Amino acid sequence: MGRIRARDTKPELAVRSQCHSMGLRFRLHRKDLPGSPDLVFPKHRLCLFVHGCFWHRHHGCQYAYTPKSRLEFWLPKLARNTERDKENEAALVALGWRVMVVWECETRNKQALQNKLSGIIERLD
Ligand SMILES: [Zn+2]
């Protein structure tokens, strides 16, 4: 079976509450969509993933460090994660969805997160 993914993580809750306060309407974890996106904005045909920097390999991010030991375990595992992310994104795009990612490290600062989300939404309409 598939991976076990944490639901309702702190970064996810931060994104949700920010979207709420911006008056955006969304649904959570639509299981009928590839990758079960964390937030789905039907009006904008937008799927938003909130990705942990380590697990999803945020490029150039300090939190996406490479483990020092058990590389034979970690490297294939992390590679599979990014592969699956790419597959999910391609499948969603093929279904006519737009796909955006908010990284965990971008949710730590409230103002920065608000700017990021506003930027995403502005580009949509
Ligand atoms: Zn990051």
Q: pLDDT higher for 124 or 55?
A: 55
Q: Does pLDDT of 71 surpass 70?
A: yes
Nearest to 29 by CA among 16, 18, 20: 16
- DSSP 3-state of 49: strand
In-domain check, residue 104: yes
Q: Compute, in angstroms, the gap from residue 68 CA to the centroid of ligand 1.
A: 19
Q: Compute, in angstroms, the gap from residue 14 CA to the centroid of ligand 1.
A: 15
Q: Compute, in angstroms, the gap from residue 53 CA to the centroid of ligand 1.
A: 4
In-domain check, residue 21: yes
In-domain check, residue 54: yes
Q: pLDDT higher for 29 or 56?
A: 56
In-domain check, residue 68: yes
Instruction: Please state the domain count of the chain.
Output: 1
**Stretch 66-86: mean pLDDT:** 95
In-domain check, residue 2: no
H/E stretch holding 80: helix 71-94
CATH number at residue 105: 3.40.960.10
Per the prediction, the chain carries an average pLDDT of 91
Q: Compute, in angstroms, the gap from residue 62 CA to the centroid of ligand 1.
A: 7
Find all residues with CB under 8 Å of 113, minimum gap 6, and list them: 14, 15, 18, 102, 106, 107
Q: Does pLDDT of 1 surpass 50?
A: no
96: left (phi over 0), alpha (psi -120 to 50) or beta: left
User: The pTM is what?
Assistant: 0.88
pLDDT of residue 2: 44
Report d(CA 59, CA 56) in Å as an integer: 9
Q: Compute, in angstroms, the gap from residue 54 CA to the centroid of ligand 1.
A: 8
In-domain check, residue 4: no
Q: Give CA separation, 42 vs 27, 28, 64, 80, 90, in Å.
A: 8, 11, 31, 28, 18
Nearest to 87 by CA among 31, 29, 35: 35
Q: Compute, in angstroms, the gap from residue 61 CA to the centroid of ligand 1.
A: 5
In-domain check, residue 3: no
pLDDT per residue as tens digits for the range 23-47 = 998 999 888 999 999 999 998 899 9
Give the domain range for residue 51.
10-122
